[in-house]
Structure 1
């Protein structure tokens, strides 16, 4: 079940708020709070509970487990942050299998666009003070993939057929 479609307005708003918060956190310090991810998971379970029993709910759990299962080895290899893996799985819990494919594709597209933007921004001759304060501006700084994950989730929620 695609939870953004069946969630009450206040829970859908919480979904958006938590994703925006994760984006800001990741952009600023390349970290995503565990509380943000746990909030997304709790809100997803609340939305599922309020929507009532649906036979397709197993798909949401499968998407969550698959994204966590694929993300953990990538994290272990040092290619993806732990917060990114948790956010990816927590946001994925909101989507069924058909929504998850859209979520995955839109997140990958957003990630590619984000990488190009950050590489271009790093070419600007920022002052040392700016580079000290904003991790993303550093030449060897990481890419806040939480921004791409949040963008993919928000775009998916907005593009789901009603």
Structure 2
């Protein structure tokens, strides 16, 4: 049961956040809340030592401090900051967190370049009338749905995270 919850909750939240941000330019608060609460409940069920458990929340606090500063400076959306924080809690204070931050930077850069190119392309004019989210992406004063990069990076790193590895070990034993 714990294995199934871990394998469903985190990936689903990442996909939902990415899709939601693409379609509506928002990441709902409940996504981050579900991630934090589910980690708080599931991690002890895996036998995770309490000091490691605490360090997962330290990772979240560190990411929250950094993203809060970026949000206050107007360079990051609040939903992105909350999702990054919740993801950091799931990944923990380890190399997977560094890999996540580097991956989301690369994916975010590629996404930003792709959207900027789209905004100046013929496609932005030709197809924006058919789909609301494409009209929003075509607006030059609109932001970038960075939740897509956050979701992709989370999905990339999750299998090597402590909870991802715990599930793989459990499944290999059966």
Q: Normalising by the residue count of structure 2, what TM-score does the alignment of the two structures yield?
A: 0.81
More moved, 98-107 vs 63-72: 98-107
Does residue 1:150 correspond to 2:159, yes or no?
no
Cα distance in 2, alignment partners of residues 130 and 75 from structure 1: 32
Alignment of 1:102-141 (within 5 A): 102-125=99-122, 126-127=125-126, 129-130=129-130, 133-134=133-134, 135-141=136-142
Does residue 1:14 correspond to 2:15, yes or no?
no
**Residue segments in structure 2 that go unaligned for 5+ positions in a row:** 166-174
Structure whose CA Rg is larger: 2
Cα distance in 2, alignment partners of residues 77 and 68 from structure 1: 14
**Residue segments in structure 1 that go unaligned for 5+ positions in a row:** 1-6
Deviation at 1:47, TM superposition (A): 2.1
Q: Which residue, 71, 83, 95 being the options, matches 1:87?
A: 83
**Offset from partner CA, 1:121-159 (integer Å, 9 cap, x none):** 222222452475432221221101111111111111134
**Offset from partner CA, 1:48-73 (integer Å, 9 cap, x none):** 12112413122211110011111111
More moved, 115-124 vs 84-93: 115-124
Q: Which residue of 1 aligns with 2:44?
A: 49
Aligned residues: 156
**Offset from partner CA, 1:62-91 (integer Å, 9 cap, x none):** 110011111111111111000000000011
Q: Which residue of 2 aligns with 1:65?
A: 61
Deviation at 1:40, TM superposition (A): 1.1
- Aligned residues of 1:28 and 1:136 also touching (Cα < 8 A): no
Q: Normalising by the residue count of structure 1, what TM-score does the alignment of the two structures yield?
A: 0.87
Cα distance in 2, alignment partners of residues 159 and 107 from structure 1: 16
Cα distance in 2, alignment partners of residues 129 and 56 from structure 1: 51
Residue aligned with 2:144, SS: coil
Cα distance in 2, alignment partners of residues 58 and 160 from structure 1: 15
Q: Which residue of 2 aligns with 1:3?
A: none
